[in-house]
Amino acid sequence: MEKVIKVAVVGNPNVGKSALINAIAGTNIKVGNWTGVTVEKIEAQIEYKGFKIHFIDLPGIYSIANKTAEEKITIDFLINQKPDIILNVIDSTNLKRNLYLTIQLLELEIPMVIALNMWDELGKRGIKIDSEKFSKLLCAPAIPTSALRNLGINSILDNIIKTYENKDGFNFSKCEQFETQIEDYLKRLKNFIEQTHPGILELYPQRYLLTSILEGSFDGYLPSEIKEYADRLKEEIEKVYHKDIRALMIEERYGLVLNILKQTVKEKPLEEESLNFSLALDRIFLHRYLGLPIFFILVWLTFEMTFTFSTPFVDWLDNTLSNLSLVVNNYLKNSPDWLRSFITEGVLGGVGFVLVFTPVLFTLYIILSFLEGSGYIARAAFLMDRFMSIFGLSGKSFIPLLLGFGCNVPAVYATRTIDSPKEKILTALMIPFMSCGARLTVFAFFVSIFFTNHRGLVIFSLYIMGIFSAIVIAILLNKFYFKLEHSYFILELPPYRMPTLRYMLLNSWIRVKSFIIEAGSFIFATSVVIWFLTNIPFGVKKEDSILGKVAKEISVIFEPLGFGTWQATTSLFAGFVAKEVVLSTMGNVYMQEVPQTQEDQITVSQFAKDTVVGFFNAFIGLSEEVGQKFGLIEKEREEVDTGLMEVIRDEFTPASAYSFLVFLLLYTPCLATVFAIRQELGSNRWMIISVLINFTTAYIMSFIVYNFLKIYF
């Protein structure tokens, strides 16, 4: 029977934890959320030398002060879940900052392995580290690693196993010793607890318990006697040292950090060429006047590149799924009509409409991985601080808003890092206007039909419209209700780095795979429900079904917006549950049973051949797409109307299609986001206000857009 080693991966933000896990585990990674808070949770499990090693990537933190959501998650896991090993990933080019957390982790008395990550950058920065002495001083093996170069990966795994097998022999007390008088105070507190409530010492790591009680960061239950005694000790300590106890403990830990650095690190002045290069980039990207235009140009380029590189593969998947539907339909030719409809429309149609746009998401994630890994995303947040001060927000609000472009739900929960209650509420109300990845699949589908030659520009305009709407709402709310004053924002800017292709591909695949698995099951269930609602009573037209009748009554309100049909209304209903199911719902309500002709029939062997040939043709199509962008090839892209695309082309005009996308962008966010706002803000009132603001804004903007565009289209 294999032994399982549970490893908690802990470190500061921007130290390469996720990249290191990618290097260790490859694609065997599961992306999810921590229960109740929707902070991203990454897990991986591998088999190595007879052991199953289970990695849990804890949120990036600077300390275990137990103040932020990320710190609370980390402390709760390390104390209550009791991992076998802590893998402390630190940036070896910035030990002074990273080692404060390392010293705190020693207090938890959990066997530890230290990954000195980014080791390959030390030479460029003129830094030398004595890793052997470093290990002795911290009572833990310190392994030079580079996630991007695959340096030290096996050594980490070997030391995890070695530390696990010898964990009972480790003694951490000699590695964290404060000055004698402080240690005496800790001993007095320990003696008092032993005399009054000794059981508490068995529940927590003793060193962590004593230091956190004195610092006031302990979040567990404490009897009143211990609290009173600890308060008396604090008063005594503060009288002796003439400073706050928390400041004193910070000084003690940093004293240990400086002592370790003095004995293990030698630094040479940074090469002027390297320093000048970094400063030169910052002068461009953080320029007072050019910074924002460059940011928006990069956003536009992101979408332009996303669709240029993904379109041939979207077409290939679309044709493949259409052919698969024909194969299945032919296989079920002797089955009842309702069964064929259920399989081809409810099942294949529902899941297929999401799968067909995975190339779009994959390409987008690759570009975002590059921007994040290079260090630009952090600079964008810093840059936006000045811009957001116009309506009373700080750069702290930019991070949740940026997360909103991936998914609104974790973005709402990310607002808990904002100290000001008013700024937190205002930010949460702005987040639903940020276009999430689920909406992108619908955008991509419509622009591929109506705006073929300007796909990137149209998508970019929608994102800008969402940002613009959020800004207008924020200005109005701040002026007439919140009246916020600008707060200051402090953010560490990571050094510029060139992320490897392997890191970008792995990171993108993990997130796309997570999207397919998590969204796929939900979309399948919703698609089945929608299919039944649009086919009951059986045998009637879809417009006479249960859902069709309800949608008909409501659709009249959307006529001024250009899409007052019961089918479009039904799709928007489903979109309130989750934007991922809009396309699958359209497939259910727009697609009528079409008789299969002899030309439509396809054999399994022909399907396999067409799939393989189509895949290779996609690469040829990619070169043609790139050639067109650079003017090297003049070629009209052939649009192949398949299934839903053909129906949508007939049902919408370019003006009504764009109006529909604007409404989809701005109207009520998905149900999960609504509940997240309710939970995070703790108020039904703000939840209802958020829904009303989004629906009203969407209606007004769509009305304006449609009536303006129909003059020209």
Task: Dump pLDDT digits (tens) for 489-543.
Answer: 566 677 787 888 888 888 788 777 776 776 666 667 767 777 788 777 777 777 7
pLDDT of residue 592: 57
Q: Answer whether residue 184 is part of any domain.
A: yes
pLDDT score at 596? 46
Q: Are residues 649 and 683 both part of a single domain?
A: yes
Distance CA 12, CA 58 (A): 10
Please report how many Cα atoms fall inside a 13 Å half-sphere around the Cα of residue 620, on the Cβ side.
7
Q: Is 272 domain-assigned?
A: no
Evaluate if residue 416 carries a pLDDT over 60.
yes
Q: Does any domain span residue 280? A: no
Residues 500 and 592 in one domain: yes
Q: Residue 92 — φ and ψ, nearest 5°?
A: -70, -10
Q: What is the pLDDT of residue 486?
A: 53
49 inside domain: yes
Same domain, 184 and 164: no
Q: Give the burial string for 225-263 (b: 16+ CB within 10 Å, else e).
A: ebeebbeebbeebeeeeeeebeebbeebbeebbeebbee
Burial class (CB in 10 A: 0-12, 13-18, 19+), 559: exposed
Closest CA to 321 of 362, 355, 346: 355
303: in domain: yes
**Residues 675-702 pLDDT 10s:** 778 877 777 888 889 999 999 999 999 9
Contacts of 317 by beta carbon, 8 Å cutoff, 6+ apart:
355, 356, 358, 359
Please state, in angstroms and rounded to a whole number, the distance separating the CA atoms of residues 571 and 563. Answer: 11
Give pLDDT, residue 410: 59
Count of Cβ atoms closer than 10 Å to residue 499 Cβ: 20
DSSP 379-422: HHHHHHHHHHGGGT--HHHHHHHHHTTT-HHHHHHGGGG---HH
Query: Per-residue pLDDT for 269 more than 80?
Result: no
Q: Which residues pair with 133 in a beta bridge?
A: none
Write out the two tokens for 286. 């953080």
Contact 663, 460 (CB under 8 A): no
Query: Is 177 in a helix, a strand, or coil?
Result: coil
Mean pLDDT of 459-467: 90
The CA-CA-CA angle for residues 280, 286, 287, to 5°, reads 85
Task: State the Cα angle at 233 between 229 and 235, rounded to 5°.
Answer: 115
74 in a structural domain? yes
d(CA 572, CA 530): 12
What percent of the chain is helix, strand and coil (3-state, nearest 5)?
65, 10, 25
For residues 395 and 131, which has the higher predicted lDDT (pLDDT)? 131
Closest by CA to 90, choosing from 241, 264, 245, is 264
Q: Quote the pLDDT of residue 640.
A: 43
Same domain, yes or no: 163 and 214: no
Is 82 part of any domain? yes
Which ranges of 79-205 would DSSP assign to H, the alpha helix? 95-106, 131-138, 153-165, 180-196, 200-203
pLDDT tens digits along 34-43: 544 435 667 8
Average pLDDT over residues 95-123: 90
Residues in the chain: 713
Using pLDDT thresholds of 50, 70 and 90, give the confidence band for residue 8. very high
Above pLDDT 90, what percent of the chain? 14
- Could you tell me if 474 and 547 lie in one domain? yes
Contact 491, 382 (CB under 8 A): yes
pLDDT higher at 370 or 411: 370
**pLDDT above 50 (res 638):** no
- Cβ(163)–Cβ(141) below 8 Å: yes
Mean of the per-residue pLDDT values of the chain? 81
Predicted local distance difference test score (pLDDT) of residue 637: 47
Cis peptide before 269 (omega within 30 of 0): no
> Strands, E, within 470-530: which ranges?
none
Residue 102 burial (C-beta neighbours within 10 Å; 0-12, 13-18, 19+) = buried
In a shared domain, residues 155 and 182: no
Residues paired with 267 in a beta bridge: 127
What pLDDT is attached to residue 462?
92
User: Residue 641 — pLDDT band, cuts 50, 70, 90?
Assistant: very low
Is the predicted pLDDT of residue 599 greater than 50, yes or no? no
CATH assignment at residue 91: 3.40.50.300
Q: Is 82 a residue whose pLDDT tops 60?
A: yes
454 and 308 in a single domain? The answer is yes
> What one-character-per-residue DSSP string does 610-653 give?
HHHHHHHHHHHHHHHHHHHHTTS---PPPP---THHHHHHHH--
Mean pLDDT of 2-16: 88
pLDDT, position 617 = 84
| Per-residue pLDDT at 32 | 56
- Among candidate residues 127, 157, 173, the one where a domain is terminated: 173
What's the Rg (C-alpha) of the chain?
Answer: 29
Residue 258 sits in a domain whose CATH number is 1.10.287
Please indicate, yes or no, whether residues 567 and 425 belong to a single structural domain of this protein: yes
**Cα(636)–Cα(638) distance, integer angstroms:** 6
Kindly list the distances between the CA atom of residue 499 and the CA atoms of 18, 19, 127, 239, 502, in Å, as whole numbers in the listed order. 13, 10, 21, 51, 8
pLDDT on residue 175? 65
Q: What is the phi/psi pair of residue 498, to 5°?
A: -105, 100
pLDDT, mean of residues 702-712:
88
- The phi, psi pair for 148, rounded to 5°, reads -75, -25
- The model carries a pTM of 0.66
Q: Mark whether 225 and 118 lie in a shared domain.
A: no
Q: Which residues pair with 338 in a beta bridge?
A: none
Domain-located, residue 359? yes
Q: What is the mean pLDDT of residues 108-134?
A: 88
What pLDDT does 55 receive?
Answer: 93
Angle at 661 between CA 462 and CA 544, to 5 degrees: 170
Residues 243 and 121 in one domain: no
The residue type at 428: A
* Between 256 and 542, residue with greater pLDDT: 256
- Dihedral of CA atoms 177, 179, 185, 189 in degrees, nearest 10, equals -10
Cβ–Cβ under 8 Å, residues 622 and 316: no
Amino acid at position 649, single letter = R
Hey, what's the torsion of the CAs at 702, 704, 709, 710, to 10 degrees?
A: 90
Cα dist from 152 to 20, 119, 148, 503, whole Å: 10, 10, 11, 16
**Tens digits of residue pLDDT in 167-211:** 765 666 666 678 888 888 889 999 999 888 888 888 888 888 888
pLDDT in tens, 149-169: 889 999 999 999 999 988 765
Q: How many domains does the chain have?
A: 3
Rounded CA separation 330/519 (Å): 28
Distance CA 633, CA 620 (A): 12
Q: What is the pLDDT of residue 145?
A: 92
| 242 and 299 housed in the same domain | no
- In whole angstroms, give the CA distance from residue 304 to residue 625: 11
Shared domain check, 188 and 149: no
Residue 124 has φ and ψ, to the nearest 5°, of -65, -30
Position 560 scores a pLDDT of 92
> What pLDDT score does 371 carry?
84
Mean pLDDT of the region 471-498: 73
User: Residue 178 has what DSSP assignment?
Assistant: -
Q: How confident is the model at residue 2 (pLDDT cuts 50, 70, 90)?
A: low
pLDDT confidence of residue 440: 82
Q: 185 lies in which domain range?
A: 175-267
Tell me: the pLDDT tens digits for 334-386? Answer: 788 778 878 877 777 667 766 776 787 788 788 888 888 888 877 877 777 77
DSSP H or E segment with residue 189: helix 180-196
Helices 17-25 and 501-533: crossing angle in degrees, nearest 10, is 80
| Neighbouring residues of 293: CB distance < 8 A, sequence distance ≥ 6 | none
Peptide bond into 537 cis (omega under 30): yes
Q: What is the number of H-type helices and E-type strands within the chain? A: 30, 9
Domain end among 149, 173, 197: 173
HEC secondary structure over 607-620: HHHHHHHHHHHHHH
pLDDT category of residue 332 using cuts at 50, 70 and 90: confident
Which of 124, 154, 173 lies at the terminal end of a domain, its last residue?
173
